[in-house]
Amino acid sequence: MAPKRWFTLLRNATTALAAVAAAASFATPAIATAAQPPATDVVGGTRAAQGEFPFMVRLSMGCGGALYTKQIVLTAAHCVSRTGSNTSITATVGVVDLQSSSAQKIRSTYVYRSPTYGTSTGGDWALIKLASPVSGLSTLPIATTTAYNSGTFTVAGWGAATEGGSQQRYLLKATVPFVDDATCAAQGGSYPDLIPSAEICAGNLASGGVDTCQGDSGGPMFRRDNNSAWIQVGIVSWGDGCARPHAPGVYTEVSTFASKIAAAAAGL
């Protein structure tokens, strides 16, 4: 990966200490209260209702993910270090409140990291196999064509609600509009490094204010398909800061890697 892309803000907890600090912050969540300005700037998000997005996954290293199958989580490659056996990750599923006693917590057994991540072809995706299937939760199908790579998308996660802020106890959600490749690449900063065939941009270009942020990495960007069912079109990957004007979020373009994801999952 070129240095410029490496030092842009990847949207996971950057160190183990940051993940520990984020976990500690759940006892006093950084959600807007009457004594704080409302979060108009996930950034710009509102709390998701219990059961609204049953496929959402929180990973113990400080990343998000989505249930690709009942036993496999789709997340970002930059959230994991390598392919191989791994029992160190805990997936929390089935709740919007990470402190809920109803949460299912399941350990990982194996990680598959995209072999093309960090190359000129991109591929910021990874799969985490869980020790047992989750129960009572739906999965999130992924887009296999570019048909849904436009319009307005939904993002959700337990990441920071402000740039540099604490990660959240409660799941936040927001909507972001599609930004075409040429416009995204023209925004300066790290955006000229965009890989159009592997990445998709979304955000409020002129005003900013709504975006994924640190701790949301690996989580899904999704929308309704032609049957009004949720379908995943992106994976939270990187961006210059959070919710800044002219700095959209950049997401792994899932349809580009759909066949590779399916093949890797079949082998787990």
Q: Where are the domains of the chain?
A: 52-267
User: Tokens 């892309």 correspond to what residue?
Assistant: 5
Among 2.115.10.20, 2.60.40.10, 3.40.50.720, 2.40.10.10, name the CATH number for the domain at 52-267. 2.40.10.10
Quote the percentage of the chain above a pLDDT of 70. Answer: 85
Q: Which residues are catalytic?
A: 78, 124, 217
pLDDT digits (tens, 9 = 90+) for 4-40: 343 356 766 443 334 434 333 333 333 232 333 333 3
For residues 74 and 41, which has the higher predicted lDDT (pLDDT)?
74
Choose between 33 and 193: higher pLDDT. 193
**pLDDT tens sequence across 132-180:** 999 999 999 999 999 999 999 999 999 998 998 888 999 999 999 999 9
Separation CA 42–CA 176 (nearest Å)? 11
Q: What is the pTM of this model?
A: 0.88
- Is the CA virtual torsion 244, 246, 247, 248 positive or negative? positive
Three-class DSSP category at 242: coil
Q: Please identify which residue in the block is written with the tokens 């997936």.
A: 91
Query: How many other CB atoms are found less than 10 A from the CB of residue 224?
Result: 14
What's the token pair of residue 150? 């436009």
Poorest-pLDDT segment among 39-48, 90-99, 186-195: 39-48
Q: Residue 244 CA to chain centroid, in angstroms?
A: 18
